[in-house]
Amino acid sequence: MLCNSIEYEANIELKGSDLIEDSLVHVMKHRQTLLESEVRYYLRQLLEGLRYIHAAGIIHRDLKLGNMFLSDSMDVKIGDFGLAAKYETETAKVTICGTPNYIAPEVLAKRGHGYEADIWAVGCTMYAMLIGQPPFETVSLSETYARIASNKYAIPNHISSRAKSLMKKMLAPEPRQRPTIDQILNHDFFASGYIPLSLPPSCCHRQPKFVLAPSTR
């Protein structure tokens, strides 16, 4: 689930393979929005890859649709570690970095940031897949930053309550209020929703049709 190669002083090296050029940005250009089942499929792989990165002591700091690449078998590969940094518990990172629509409020405020900033970006990514654009996007960069700072965004009524709940948790303004990766994967959005084992390449261009087995209850 990782692509590109990056080395740190601690001899941490992340590598990946089977990368193709298309990212989820290309998928979204064709599809506009995705089904919740597709979002679960992509997000679960993103989160599992992110767990590996965090376990290695690394903050990605630029998670977004454009850095989620797809393999030939439609597996998610996390790419572009150009802004990644080694996390030091004693001194949280204070550099403003990342893509404007996905930047966490603590990054903007230079309060120092850690793994929670990546969780915020996952929340923005989930929102973009379901709704078609990041939650704080505007035509003005200053207005986008103002909305991030004030946590001003809206979730359309057609989005399920489970999806709304998870996005709100990941987009909590205070980093400590955001869920861990395990808590996200155990959230009702994943626990009670259908997650396909695979997706056909055709879903890059059109909505897939899922045939679910009838309930035995």
Taking all residues of the chain, what is their mean pLDDT, rounded to a whole number? 84
Mean pLDDT of residues grouped by 10 in the chain (217 residues)? 43 44 87 95 95 91 90 87 68 58 90 89 98 95 95 97 98 97 97 91 85 47
Strand segments, DSSP code E, in the chain are 6-7, 13-14, 19-23, 58-59, 68-71, 76-78, 85-86
Coil, strand or helix: which one is 96?
Answer: coil
Q: Between 1.10.3210.10, 3.20.20.70, 1.10.510.10, 1.10.260.40, what CATH number should domain 6-194 receive?
A: 1.10.510.10
Beta bridge partners of 93: 113
Q: 23-33, pLDDT tens digit by residue?
A: 899 999 999 99
- The residue extents of the domains of the chain are 6-194
Kindly list the catalytic residues.
62
Tell me the per-residue pLDDT of 24-63, one tens digit each, with 9 for 90 and over. 999 999 999 999 999 999 999 999 999 999 999 999 888 9
Share of residues in the chain with pLDDT > 70 (%):
82
CA geometry: angle 82, 56, 10, nearest 5 deg? 80
CB under 8 A, 24+ apart: contacts of 196-200: 196/37, 196/38, 196/41, 198/73, 198/74, 199/38, 199/41, 199/74, 200/74
- The Cβ-side half-sphere exposure at 126, using a 13 Å CA radius, reads 31
pTM of the model: 0.84
